C-alpha cells in the first residue's frame, strides 16, 4: 500500500478529538456535560444575518468572485471604517473563515523550512496549518503568572534565525485572553521593521476586550507593508458555521499572491457573504455586537470569581477574548479531564481543553486547561462547583491508587 505523506502524519491530532467520545459516552449515561472546552458561543446568531440568508435572491448559485462578493467586501470596508480604518477593496480578501486567512498568510510568506515565531500557548490550528505547509513554528513561551504578556525584546530576538519570515499572534489571545499593550505592539512593529519580518495578526476577538484598549495592528502605518491581518465574523457575529473570514493587507505584493491563492480555490460560500452584507446594512448592528460583549464581560467576571474560589486554581484575570487559561492542582490535566468524563460520580460534569495542546514546547501546559466562558452565567457557576468537587475527588482517588 502506498504511504501517506510525512506532513499529514506530522499534523497534530486534536487532544479534544480524543476526549470527545468520552463526553458522548457520559451523555449517553444521562450525564449533563458543561462544554467549556470549545470556543463555540451559545449566543443566537443575529437575526439580520440569518434573514439575509433566508431572503437572498439566488436563482443560479454561481461561483462568487474569488476575492469575495462585492457586497461582502463593502460590508468589511464599512465595518473597518467604523473602527477608523480606511481600506480599499483591493486591501480586502474574503476568506473561508479566519482559518483560510491563516493558511493563505503562511503560504504567501513562507516556503518549506521557513520559520514563524509564535508566542505560546497559542491556537493549536496554527500548528496544523504550519505542519501541512511545511512551515516550522518557533514557540516563544509566555507565562500564566505574567498574564501571558510578551517577554523582553532581547528574549524574542534570541529566537529569530535567518529562516524566520514572520511573527504570528492573536490579539486578543486565544487561549490566553491576553490583550497586548501598546508598548508590546510598538516593540513587535519595531522588531518586524528591524528584522524584515511579516507580522501576521489574528484579531478575530478584537471586539472582546474588557480591560484596557485593543489596538489594531492596522494602527501602524510605518509597518503597513509588513502587516497581514487575519479576521473573521465567527465570534463577533456568533456565526462560526458561516465560514466567512478576511485577510487584509496594504502590501500589494501580498494581496496579489493571496488573490492567486483565492483564485485557485475558486470562491467562498455565497449565502453567508450575503448574510454579512445584510447584517452590516442593519442600523442596529453595532448595538447587537455591544450587547453581546456586555454579556461576555459578565460571564468573564463570574467565571473568574468562581474559579478564584477553588483551592489550587491559578490564573490572572484575562483582558479579552472569551477564554481563561488556568492552572489546576493536578499533574496531568488531560488525565483529569478524562477522569471527569468517565469517573466523576455526579449527575453533571465539565469538560475543558487540555493545556498541553496549546504549546509547541514538549512538557509545557500539562497542569493547565483552557476554559471558554461560552455558557450562561448560572451554567458557569455550576461548572465551577463541579470542577471544585472534581478536583478534590480526583486527587483523593489518585492518592489512593498510589497508596
Q: Segment 86-125, which members bind a copy of itself (CB under 8 A)? A: 96-97, 99-100, 103, 107-112, 114, 125
The residue range among 182-190, 237-245, 295-303, 385-393 that interacts with a copy of itself, by the rule CB under 8 A, is: 237-245
- Residue 230 lies near a copy of itself (rule: CB under 8 A): no
Distance of closest approach, residue 261 Cβ to a copy of itself, in angstroms: 7
Window 199-228: residues binding a copy of itself (CB under 8 A): 225-226
Sheet containing strand 198-202, edge to edge, reads 92-95, 245-248, 227-232, 198-202, 164-170, 115-120, 136-141
Distance of closest approach, residue 132 Cβ to a copy of itself, in angstroms: 5
CA distance 370 to 324: 6
**Beta-strand runs (E) in 85-203:** 92-95, 115-120, 136-141, 164-170, 198-202
Distance of closest approach, residue 196 Cβ to a copy of itself, in angstroms: 5
Instruction: Report the candidate in 114, 158, 119, 120 with the shortest Cα–Cα distance to residue 136.
Output: 114
In the complex with a copy of itself, the residue whose CB is nearer, 307 or 360, is: 360
- Residue 251 lies near a copy of itself (rule: CB under 8 A): yes
CA distance 278 to 243: 16
The residue range among 3-11, 26-34, 207-215, 345-353 that interacts with a copy of itself, by the rule CB under 8 A, is: 3-11
Selected binder of a copy of itself within 83, 266, 290, 397 (CB under 8 A)? 266
The residue range among 72-80, 253-261, 340-348, 357-365 that interacts with a copy of itself, by the rule CB under 8 A, is: 253-261
- Residue 231 lies near a copy of itself (rule: CB under 8 A): no
CA distance 392 to 243: 41
Instruction: Report the candidate in 391, 131, 100, 134 with the shortest Cα–Cα distance to residue 247.
Output: 100
CA distance 169 to 387: 30
**Beta-strand runs (E) in 24-124:** 32-35, 92-95, 115-120
Cell of residue 402, nine digits: 498510589
Half-sphere exposure of 196 (CA within 13 A, CB side): 3
- Residue 268 lies near a copy of itself (rule: CB under 8 A): yes
23 conformational bin, left if phi > 0, alpha if psi -120 to 50, beta if neither: alpha
Question: The dihedral of CA 91, 93, 97, 100: what is its sign?
Answer: negative
Binding mask 306-345 for a copy of itself (x = CB under 8 A): ----------------------------------------
CA distance 107 to 355: 28
Distance of closest approach, residue 95 Cβ to a copy of itself, in angstroms: 11
The residue range among 168-176, 247-255, 378-386, 389-397 that interacts with a copy of itself, by the rule CB under 8 A, is: 247-255
Window 37-96: residues binding a copy of itself (CB under 8 A): 40-45, 49-50, 53-54, 58-64, 96
In the complex with a copy of itself, the residue whose CB is nearer, 50 or 388, is: 50
Window 158-197: residues binding a copy of itself (CB under 8 A): 165-166, 196-197
- Residue 291 lies near a copy of itself (rule: CB under 8 A): no
Amino acid at each position: 500500500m502506498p504511504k501517506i505523506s510525512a506532513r499529514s502524519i506530522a499534523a497534530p491530532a486534536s487532544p479534544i478529538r480524543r476526549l470527545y467520545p468520552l463526553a458522548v459516552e457520559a451523555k449517553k449515561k444521562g450525564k449533563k456535560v458543561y462544554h467549556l472546552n470549545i470556543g463555540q458561543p451559545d449566543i443566537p446568531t443575529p437575526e439580520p444575518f440569518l434573514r439575509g440568508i433566508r431572503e437572498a435572491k439566488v436563482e443560479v448559485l454561481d461561483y462568487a468572485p474569488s476575492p469575495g462578493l462585492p457586497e461582502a467586501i463593502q460590508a468589511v470596508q464599512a465595518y473597518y471604517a467604523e473602527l477608523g480604518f480606511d481600506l480599499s477593496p483591493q486591501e480586502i480578501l474574503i476568506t473561508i473563515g479566519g482559518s483560510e486567512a491563516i493558511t493563505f498568510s503562511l503560504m504567501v510568506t513562507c516556503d518549506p523550512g521557513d520559520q514563524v515565531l509564535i508566542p505560546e500557548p497559542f491556537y493549536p490550528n496554527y500548528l496544523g496549518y504550519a505542519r501541512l505547509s511545511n512551515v516550522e513554528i518557533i514557540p516563544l513561551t509566555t507565562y500564566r503568572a505574567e498574564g501571558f504578556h510578551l517577554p523582553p525584546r532581547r528574549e524574542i530576538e534570541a529566537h529569530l534565525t535567518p529562516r524566520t519570515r514572520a511573527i504570528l499572534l492573536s490579539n486578543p489571545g486565544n487561549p490566553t485572553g491576553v490583550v497586548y499593550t501598546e508598548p508590546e505592539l510598538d516593540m513587535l512593529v519595531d522588531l518586524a521593521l528591524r528584522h524584515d519580518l511579516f507580522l501576521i495578526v489574528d484579531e478575530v476577538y478584537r471586539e472582546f476586550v474588557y480591560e484596557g484598549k485593543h489596538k489594531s495592528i492596522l494602527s501602524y502605518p510605518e509597518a503597513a507593508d509588513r502587516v497581514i491581518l487575519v479576521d473573521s465574523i465567527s465570534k463577533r457575529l456568533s456565526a462560526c458555521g458561516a465560514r466567512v473570514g478576511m485577510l487584509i493587507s496594504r502590501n500589494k505584493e501580498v494581496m496579489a499572491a493571496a488573490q492567486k491563492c483565492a483564485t485557485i480555490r475558486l470562491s467562498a460560500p455565497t449565502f453567508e457573504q450575503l448574510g454579512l452584507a445584510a447584517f452590516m446594512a442593519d442600523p442596529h448592528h453595532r448595538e447587537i455586537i455591544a450587547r453581546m460583549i456586555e454579556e461576555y464581560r459578565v460571564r468573564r467576571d463570574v467565571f473568574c470569581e468562581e474559579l478564584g474560589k477553588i483551592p489550587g486554581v491559578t490564573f490572572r484575570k484575562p483582558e479579552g477574548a472569551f477564554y481563561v487559561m488556568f492552572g489546576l492542582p493536578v499533574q496531568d490535566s488531560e488525565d483529569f479531564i478524562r477522569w471527569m468524563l468517565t469517573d466523576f460520580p455526579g449527575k453533571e460534569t465539565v469538560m475543558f481543553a487540555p493545556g498541553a495542546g496549546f504549546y509547541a514546547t514538549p512538557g509545557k501546559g500539562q497542569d493547565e486547561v483552557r476554559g471558554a466562558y461560552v455558557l450562561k452565567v448560572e451554567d458557569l457557576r455550576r461548572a465551577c462547583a463541579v470542577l471544585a468537587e472534581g478536583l478534590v475527588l480526583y486527587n483523593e482517588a489518585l492518592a489512593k491508587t498510589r497508596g
